[in-house]
Copies of this chain bind each other. A is one copy, B any other.
Amino acid sequence: MRVSSEDVAQRAGVSRSTVSYILNGHGDRFSQATREAVERAVAELGYRPHSAGRALARGQSDLVLLVLPISPNSQFSQMADRLTEALAEHGLSLLMCSSTASARSFAAVLTTARPRAVIALSQLSESKRTVLRSAGVRAIDIAHAISQPGGPNWSVGRMQAEHLMRRGYRRIAYGRLTEARDDVLLGAREQGVREACQAAGMGEPQVITVALRADADLDAIGSLPLGTGLACYNDDTAAAALAAARVIGRAVPEDLGVVGVDDTPVAAQTSPRLTTIGFDLPVSYDRLAQLLLHHDPADTEFADMGECRLIQGEST
């Protein structure tokens, strides 16, 4: 239930103007008692001014735009730009916010921007889901959608494992990322690896954690038996694994096979060159825009199979 400054005024027993004045730094005109009453009412009701009203009255909103140089190679950058253009054709504007910001500031953004929808490329935490629900804002969780069993990320994992087996590795391991905020993606990829192992009659894959910090990663890589094929969460993880293997003297691809995901530039620069899996996000930007304009997009509509392609390097 939306709470307006009218509600606050009523509860504090004053007029709406008084509330507005006090909340906008002109409180010195009022008595101590009035100020306190208003502030108490605000706190009790959890009032936050409606951004559109504010913006309309003042002529400018409370948004601050941060223009970020997203690396031009990143999948995200491409996606953001295409989405921006696709949405613009339908009169919608795309803004971004960091997925690592706190749930509280996320809530603030929601009540300030009051967006038509939220698209999440990384999994939304439970607290943010709650915030979204109570704000009545529709969310499209792409990470979740493309991580269904049988979906693209799952296929990526399967492809990694099957490739490693084809190259003759008889033990398979999985390299997780420590700071795995992208739980769903990781889960789906790992699950794909796991099922491929089962299908081939191998045991459960050994799972190690890669921290992207040399000191911490040496032990993890060292714990892998010779002849292991390591499927990594992404290219960064794989690159870190390669670096650790080099330090502790594991020969790649002989003693250890490594395969990444994403086909980022880093894959082409490692030594030996990384085998990786390129992978287009199976999202039709225009369709996404259409869905945002209408209603109730089922998440599963995005679970179409994306194209995965193996890029053979020298690490397997």
Point out residues on A near B: beta carbons under 8 Å: 50-53, 55-56, 59-73, 76-77, 80-81, 83-85, 87-88, 91-102, 104-105, 108-110, 112-122, 124, 179, 181-182, 212-214, 236, 239-240, 242-243, 246, 265-266, 268-271, 292
Contacts and interface: CB of A to CB of B under 8 A. Distances in A.
B181 A119 contact: no
A85 B83 CA distance: 26
A25 B179 CA distance: 46
Nearest to A82: B101
B64 A95 contact: yes
A67 B96 contact: yes
B214 A243 contact: no
Number of copies: 2
Interface of A (DSSP majority class): mixed
A120 B67 contact: yes
Nearest to A63: B115
Contact of A64 (B93, B104, B109): B93
Contacts of A105: 84-85, 88, 93-94
A87 to B, nearest CB: 6
A2 B187 CA distance: 50
A108 to B, nearest CB: 5
Given A101-B81, A105-B84, A67 B118 contact: yes
A73 to B, nearest CB: 7
B80 A66 contact: yes
A103 B213 CA distance: 39
Given A65-B119, A66-B80, A118-B67, A181 B94 contact: no
24 contacts: A52-B55, A60-B116, A63-B94, A63-B113, A63-B114, A64-B94, A64-B115, A64-B116, A64-B119, A65-B96, A65-B110, A66-B96, A67-B96, A67-B98, A68-B76, A68-B97, A68-B98, A85-B101, A93-B112, A94-B109, A113-B113, A236-B265, A243-B268, A243-B269
